[in-house]
Structure 1
Amino acid sequence: MQLQFWRRQQGSTLIICLVFLLILTMIGISSIQSSTLQEQMAGSARDYNSAFQAAEYALREGEVYLQQATLGSFTGSGGRYTICGDPASTAAGCVPPSWRNKSSTGWVTQSGVGNVNSQPQYILEKYPLIVDVNAPLDADTVPPKIEMYRITARGYGVSENSMIVLQSAFRRD
């Protein structure tokens, strides 16, 4: 009697082991997918950080240029442009290069940044002179004018698909 009971139980052990193995396989595949996704997210974060730091470097270099005693003319060459107010204006220096197109020319390229796909770049745009609203109003004096500039910098990350664009306004005294 006991021998027949043993023979009926042998097949169920195989089925239970196969189900258990299937569950372990599914857990393993899920863990692999999760770790792969985490590695991709870490790589993207590193790429973004590299691009952001490169753009900040170019932005700082543009600010250093604007702190010089004398500036070149803002005629559309050497990364120096003028904000003309009219978007349709084609006057010299009024049409800055597109920041969206990586191959656009007219940018000042900085060197010395490692671990990036392309070196960071910047352009400078000069606003028309602005009246200082904080100046005292006197009937016999003309309010002073303020020189304002916009710096647009773009930095690239490790991959060719990452680009960060930063802008800052700069007041020159």
Structure 2
Amino acid sequence: MKRVFKHRQNGFVLVVSMIFLIIMTMLAVTAIKKATLDEKVTGNLRAQDLAFQAAEKALRFCESNLVLAVGSLQMCQLRTGATVQVIPSKKESDITDVTKNFPDEWSKAANWTDGGEFPAIKLAGVNQISNVVEQPRCMIERWEIPNDRGKDFYPYVITARGVGSVDTAKVWLQEVIRCGNN
């Protein structure tokens, strides 16, 4: 007597295959999203780094317009032929709190365009930076702090702004240069 076994397919392999396919699809989508996010983060870091480099170049540019050589008779004065003008302080000197008269022209948005009362200098020519949305700018302000050395020894506040490859990547750098011991 010969037995015949009937094999019925219950669809078990199909269900397992579909679950496996869904899991693989989810892993692939997650990997693509992570790669896209990593690329965005890298792009943002690059834009921010470019903005920092632009601001640093502008800061050094404004700095180069001052005589900073130790022992020079013109130390802390504008170099001959300087392309940046020092913005005079409009605030009175206060011996009790020197921070009250900290220069603030840098904080006025109009000064970072060509329409302000004291527009910041935009780097041009050989000083330009490529791949930025806007060329870096800088300004030099005199800080009226009481001293016994005279008006040529007031500190300067140099402010620079750099914009990266996107207009949301902005870096501001500020430096105080004070000559003498007072």
Is 1:126 the counterpart of 2:131 in the alignment? no
Identity %: 28
Corresponding residue number in structure 1 for 2:29:
29
SS in structure 2 at match of 1:160 = coil
SS in structure 2 at match of 1:113 = coil
CA contact (8 A) 1:99 1:154 kept: no
Corresponding residue number in structure 1 for 2:96:
none
Is 1:12 the counterpart of 2:19 in the alignment? no
Q: Number of aligned residue pairs: give it.
A: 148
Structure 2: tracts of 5 or more residues without a match: 69-73, 93-102
Corresponding residue number in structure 1 for 2:155:
148
Is 1:84 the counterpart of 2:84 in the alignment? no
1-structure distance, mates of 2:18, 2:35:
26
Deviations, residues 37-58 of structure 1 (Å, cap 9, x unaligned): 0000000000000000000000
Corresponding residue number in structure 2 for 1:110:
123
CA contact (8 A) 1:81 1:95 kept: no
Corresponding residue number in structure 2 for 1:46:
46
Give the aligned CA root-mean-square deviation in angstroms: 2.6
2-structure distance, mates of 1:113, 1:14:
60
Provide the TM-score with structure 2 as the length reference.
0.70
Which of 139, 142, 165 matches 1:158? 165
Corresponding residue number in structure 1 for 2:105:
96
CA contact (8 A) 2:89 2:144 kept: yes
Per-residue deviation, 1:80: 3.1
Q: Which runs of 4+ in 1 moved over 6 A?
A: none
2-structure distance, mates of 1:100, 1:33:
38
